[in-house]
Amino acid sequence: MKKVEAIIRPSKLKDVQQGLREADIPCLTIVPVKGSGLQKSYTERYRGTEQSMILQTRIMIMCIVSDSNLEKCIDIILDNASEGQVGDGKIFIYPVEDAIRIRTRTRGIEAIK
């Protein structure tokens, strides 16, 4: 099992979510995040004064997938989240030792199906 964390633009969330659902990878957690990467800061007007904004608003998607679904999950995120511009985001992949469904106490790959 692997944990996939993808940081994407908020405008791409519905496309990624729909792609994952159609690929039978419906389980995901979404967290609003702020951060900075390679893109430069930008300026915004707030109450008549210009302020330099360094942190960009993004969405972090987290999902646990089986090893057999890993590449499918990555491809869906890449296909649906990319605009071909700086700031499109990143994907991180971590190994997962175990998963346990609390209700039934099912462990391992069966817990994420």
* Rounded Cα–Cα distance for residues 25 and 27 (Å): 6
Residue 22 CB partners (closer than 8 Å, separation 6+): none
Q: What is the pLDDT of residue 99?
A: 93
pLDDT, tens digit, for every residue of 28-84? Answer: 999 999 887 776 666 667 677 766 667 888 999 999 999 999 999 999 999 999 988
Q: What are the φ/ψ torsions at residue 27 (nearest 5 degrees)?
A: -85, 120
Q: 25: closest CA among 80, 66, 81, 78?
A: 66
Q: Where are the domains of the chain?
A: 2-112
Average confidence (pLDDT) over 85-105: 93
- In CATH terms, is domain 2-112 a member of 3.30.70.120? yes
Q: What is the pLDDT of residue 42?
A: 63
39: left (phi over 0), alpha (psi -120 to 50) or beta: beta
